[in-house]
A and B are shown apart, each in its own frame.
Chain A
Amino acid sequence: MDSTSDILTLAFGASVLYLLYQMRSFRKFLGAAGFRIELGIKVLRRLHHLPRRRRWFLDQLFTSGIMNVHVVLLVGLFVGMILSLQMGIELARYGQQDQIGVIVAASMAREMGPFITAVILAATVGSALAAEIGTMSVADELSALEVLSVDKVSFLVLPRVVALAIIAPFLTVLCNTIGILGGGFVAGSQLHVGWGLYMDSAIQALRTTGEVIQLPKDVFAGLFKASVFGGIVAIISCSCGLKAKGGALGVGRATSHAVRDSIIAVIVANYFLTWILYQN
Chain B
Amino acid sequence: MPSDADTLIRLEGVHKSFGDQHILRGLSFDVRRGQCLGVMGGSGSGKSVTLRHVIGLLQPDAGRVVVDGQDMAQTSEADLAALRRRMGYVFQESALINWLTVAENLALPLEETTDLKPAEISDRVAHTLGLVHIPDAADKFPNEISGGMKKRVGLARALITQPEIVLYDEPNAGLDPRISRSINALIRELSDTLEVTSLVVEHRIDCLKAVADEVIFMHAGVALVREPIETFFDPDEPKLKEFLGV
Q: How far is the CA of A140 from the CA of B84 in the complex (A)?
A: 16
Judging by beta carbons under 8 Å apart, are B55 and A140 in contact?
no
Given A140-B91, A144-B91: A149 touches B97 (CB 8 Å cut-off): no
Q: How far in angstroms is the closest Cβ of chain B from A138? A: 10
Write the nearest CB–CB distance from A39 to chain B, whole angstroms: 16
Interface size band for A: 10 to 19
Q: Is B87 an interface residue (CB 8 A)?
A: yes
Name the distance in Å between A190's Cβ and chain B's nearest Cβ: 48
Interface residues in B, total, Cβ within 8 A = 21
Roughly how many angstroms separate A150 CA and B109 CA in the complex, as a whole number?
7
Which residues of A lie under 8 Å from residue B87 when comparing CB positions?
Answer: 147
Contact across chains for B84 and A144 when beta carbons are under 8 A apart: no
Q: Contact between A141 and B97 (Cβ–Cβ < 8 Å)? A: yes
CB contacts (< 8 Å) of A140 on chain B: these are 91-93, 95
Given contacts A141-B96, A141-B97, A143-B57, are A149 and B91 in contact (CB under 8 A)? no
Is there an interface contact between A151 and B55, defined as CB atoms closer than 8 Å? no
User: Is the C-beta of A43 less than 8 angstroms from some C-beta in chain B?
Assistant: no
Q: Answer yes or no: A264 CB below 8 A from chain B CBs.
A: no
Determine if B95 and A144 form an interchain contact, defined as CB atoms under 8 angstroms apart. Answer: yes
Cα–Cα distance between A140 and B94 once the two chains are bound (Å)? 8
The residue on A at minimum CB distance from B89 is: A147
A148 at the interface (CB under 8 A from B): yes
The answer to the question of B124 belonging to the interface, with a C-beta cut-off of 8 Å to chain A, is: no
Alpha-carbon distance between A200 and B91 when the two chains are bound, in angstroms:
65
Whether the pair A147, B57 counts as a contact (CB closer than 8 A) is yes
Question: Is A265 among interface residues, defined by CB-CB distance under 8 A?
Answer: no
How would residues 59 to 95 of chain B score, 1 for a CB under 8 Å from any chain A CB and 0 otherwise? Answer: 0000000000000000000000100110101011101
**Residue in chain B with minimal CB distance to A142:** B95
A143 touches B85 (CB 8 A): no
Q: Mark A130-173, 1 if CB is under 8 A from B, else 0.
A: 00000010011101111111110001000000000000000000
CA–CA, A150 and B84, complex, Å: 10
Since A141-B97, A148-B112 are in contact, a sample of 10 more A-B pairs with Cβ atoms closer than 8 Å, ordered by chain A residue number, is A136-B97, A139-B95, A140-B93, A144-B95, A147-B55, A147-B84, A147-B87, A149-B112, A150-B108, A150-B109
Interface, chain A (partner B; CB < 8 A): 136, 139-141, 143-151, 155
- 7 A-B pairs, CB-CB below 8 angstroms? A141-B96, A144-B95, A147-B55, A148-B161, A149-B109, A149-B112, A149-B113
Q: Which 10 A-B pairs have the closest CB atoms?
A: A140-B95, A144-B95, A148-B109, A149-B81, A147-B89, A150-B112, A149-B84, A149-B113, A141-B95, A140-B91
